[in-house]
Structure 1
Amino acid sequence: MAVVSERKLPFGKIEPNTSRYFYSCALGGIVACGPTHTAITPLDLVKCRRQVDPSIYSSNMSAWRSIFAKEGIRGVFFGWAPTFVGYSFQGAGKYGFYEYFKYLYGDQMFPSTNRTLVHLGASASAEFLADIALCPFEAIKVRMQTSLPPYAHTLREGWSKAVAKEGLGGLYKGLYPLWARQIPYTMTKFATFEETVSMIYRTLGRPKESFNGLQQTGVSFLGGYIAGIFCAIVSHPADVMVSKLNADRQAGESAMKAVSRIYGNIGFPGLWNGLTTRIIMLGTLTGFQWLIYDSFKVFLGLPTTGGH
């Protein structure tokens, strides 16, 4: 990309599809995911509580007013620490492994395969691994946010309490539902993004390389926001179930038995509690994640994602 090759790159030239390139993409995932997920903690807090108990607040605004009046700004951002740590780890795996698997599947193993299938396979493989790192922190976050009084007040307290009571395995009891939520979400996020970005450049009638870095990252934001809307719809029922499982799974109860019991209580309509909030949250979140991730790649002298 001419606009970045003409300036001095901060860490020298990074060759595509090398270990250094994949590590750089993983670092970009941390920068993109950790801060953005943390920034929307107030939305996530209210969403999780309303998923578990739809009657707890009449609206998002009333929820924030109530929480702020009782606990101040700290209460509004309650659960930020496990969110930041967990989604930083997840971001590293999601983006770093996606770039690796996209190269492995698309260029090495199945070079003649449809690119959308490559994007779907690469994103599913990446998320499978990324969720293993995310799961214990997600479990602590949900328990902290959905229990009143809180299960724990800090990440350290929550971790110690959970491990002492259930062992490390207790923090992974939501892994299958997390995979059920996150893998379709990420497949939708990456495949829709890649296709949307390509469509935008086709609509503009010029090749991607003819636009400068700022313009390309603007396309990344728009493509990411559109992808986020689809992600919210596809993954929302599983998201509700993850919140319910972490808040209401009984001792010794199997995952399938718990899912069956909870579904019996809330029914199909209950799986869609908080969808509007999640669409707003994920559209904004996904748009800014792609903006930050591709801006980081431009900073390093790498091409932005998609549009090839």
Structure 2
Amino acid sequence: MYPSALRNNVVLTAPAEPVNPNAKRLTGVDLYSRFALAGALCCAITHGALTPVDVVKTRIQLEPERYSSGMVNAFRTVIKEEGAGALLTGIGPTFAGYFLQGAFKFGGYEFWKKTLIESVGLETAQNNRTAIYLTSSAIAEFFADVALCPLEATRIRLVSQPGYANGLVGGFSRILKEEGVVRGFYSGFGPILFKQIPYTMAKFVVYEIAAENIYKAIGKSKDQMSSGANDAVNLGSGMIAGAAAAVISQPADTLLSKINKTKGAEGESISSRLVGMSKQLGVKGLFLGLGPRIVMVATLTAGQFAIYGRIKEALGATAGVDLAKQPSK
């Protein structure tokens, strides 16, 4: 077994040795690149699969007067007026954007968590694990958003303006040509930070706490349970985390959709646009589309953690660190 540190029933462990005693333990770039790949795949798969829900959520946010009868009727309206294919609008930038974002988010979270533990020391990390989760996820998400923002801007433009371009390459190229990098792709960087950083902080810390308490209630640790049972814990914890993250990040998500719908007036700053939009929308307006978004985010977050766990296992990337309290064996 790998060494483990135990103090006050808080455990920092590596999982059991692989079945093959000669298998090499992954470390460094070899390990964290696999975390990143697992994160990229889990985010791209889940966000891509939920593109229809995201299309409807975005339409509700941008045209509430037209889609005012709830999520189901919004689906019907889009299909009736534009055909079922409209529900897959923006799937290219969605898949590509969240592939990049997932790599930075999950790989970065694992990296920064380990870095902070080494920086503050094991005992301090154990006693302040919530702060470790929050800080690691916030740093990771910042870099993830730098990668995501141009593709998210392209997705929103395609969804909000049917016929704007024919897919990812066409939409990306047109925005770049007509508006440039900063104005075209990063006018929504502020909202995306205000949306994604609190979202990711809530997502990881609520997931970690929920999973810790579920294992505690069951009375078994991860390595005492089957892969299927651990999948169930990941799904349940992910659902709880996703719902919490959706509510916390909803106002910024609405502003992100609004600011990327059309380009701003000449000379108008991004901050003035955001302030004006917030005043115009009010509290109620900022939470438009919350129902569909809770459904979408809770579902995709549950799927992400389940898929992430399975892909890590398949890649042999199981040497991460765990600060959670473990049930006594």
Q: TM-score range by the shorter chain?
A: over 0.9
Match of 2:313 among 298, 303, 306: 298
Superposed displacement of residue 264, structure 1: 2.1
Q: Deviations over 1:228-274 (max 9, x none)?
A: 01000100011001111111452232122101211222111101111
What does 1:281-292 align with in structure 2 at a 5 Å threshold? 281-292=296-307
Match of 2:90 in 1: 79
Q: What's the counterpart of residue 193 of structure 1?
A: 207
Structure with max Cα Rg: 2
Establish whether residue 93 from structure 1 lines up as the match of residue 104 from structure 2.
yes
Who is 1:40 aligned against?
Answer: 50
Residue from 139, 152, 155 that aligns with 1:138 = 152
Query: How far does the alpha carbon of each residue in 1:105-163 deviate from its partner, in whole angstroms, 9 at most, with x for none?
Result: 0233443131110110000000000000000000010111112x432231111111111
Q: Deviations over 1:65-99 (max 9, x none)?
A: 23223443321111100000000000000011110
- Indicate the residue corresponding to 1:255 in structure 2: 270
Q: Distance in 2 between matches of 1:186 and 1:62?
A: 30
Give, in whole Å, the separation in 2 of the partners of 1:7 and 1:60: 50
Match for residue 106 of structure 1 among 94, 106, 117: 117
Write the distance in 2 (CA, Å) between the matches of 1:248 and 1:110.
48
Distance across 2 between alignment mates of 1:73 and 1:209: 45
TM-score (norm: length of structure 1): 0.92
Tell me the distance in 2 between the aligned counterparts of 1:150 and 1:264.
30
Q: 1:65 and 1:30 mapped to 2: Cα distance? A: 32
Q: Do residues 21 (structure 1) and 31 (structure 2) align?
A: yes
Does the residue aligned with 2:83 lie in a helix, a strand or coil? Answer: helix
Question: Partner of 2:105: helix, strand, or coil?
Answer: helix
Paired AA for residue 150 in structure 1: G
Query: Shift of the alpha carbon at 1:305?
Result: 7.9
Matches within 5 A, 1:202-213: 202-213=216-227
CA distance in 1 between counterparts of 2:288 and 2:263 reads 19
> Following the alignment from structure 2 to structure 1, what is the Cα–Cα distance between the partners of residues 57 and 121?
41
Q: Which amino acid aligns with 1:48?
A: T
| Matched-pair contact (CA < 8 Å) for 1:143–1:150 | no
1:202-234 Cα deviation digits (max 9, x unpaired): 111122221122211221111111100100010
C-alpha change, 1:300 and 1:166, in structure 2 (3 Å) is same
Distance 1:238 1:128, change over 3 A: same
What is the distance in 1 between the residues matched to 2:160 and 2:20? Answer: 49
In the alignment, what sits opposite 1:239? 253
Q: Is 1:167 matched up with 2:174?
A: no
The residue number in structure 2 matching 1:264 is 279
Question: Could you tell me whether the CA contact under 8 Å between 1:224 and 1:290 is conserved in 2?
Answer: yes
CA deviations 1:183-211 (Å, max 9, x no partner) are: 00000001111111111111111222211
Corresponding letter in the other structure for 2:240? I
CA RMSD of aligned residues (A): 2.0
Say yes or no: does 1:50 pair with 2:60.
yes
Q: Give the CA deviation at 1:7.
A: 6.4
- 1:14 deviation in Å? 4.0
> Unaligned regions of 5+ residues in structure 2, if any?
1-14
User: Amino acid of the residue matched to residue 103 of structure 1?
Assistant: K
Return the letter of the residue paired with 2:248: V
Give CA-to-partner distance per residue, 1:284-303, whole Å, 9 cap, x none: 01000000000111223344
- How has the CA–CA distance of structure 1 residues 110 and 269 changed in structure 2, closer, same or farther, with 3 Å as cutoff? farther
Task: Look up the equivalent residue of 1:119 and give its one-letter code.
Answer: Y
Structure 1: 5+ residue stretches without partners: none
In 1: Cα distance, 2:254 partner to 2:32 partner = 33
Taking the aligned partners of 1:264 and 1:151, their CA distance within structure 2 comes to 28
Give 3-state SS (helix, strand or coil) of 1:223's partner: helix
Post-superposition offset of 1:35: 1.2
In structure 1, what is the equivalent of residue 234 of structure 2? Answer: 220
What residue identity is the alignment partner of 1:92? Answer: A
Native 8 Å contact 1:224 1:286 kept in 2? yes
Task: Determine the C-alpha separation between the residues in 2 that align with 1:197 and 1:94.
Answer: 19
**C-alpha contact (below 8 Å) 1:143/1:151 kept by paired residues:** yes
Which of residues 71, 80, 103 in structure 2 aligns to 1:69?
Answer: 80
TM-score where L is the length of structure 2: 0.87
Equivalent positions of 1:147-162 (< 5 A) are: 147=161, 149-162=162-175
Name the counterpart of 2:6.
Answer: none
Q: Are 1:279 and 2:294 an aligned pair?
A: yes
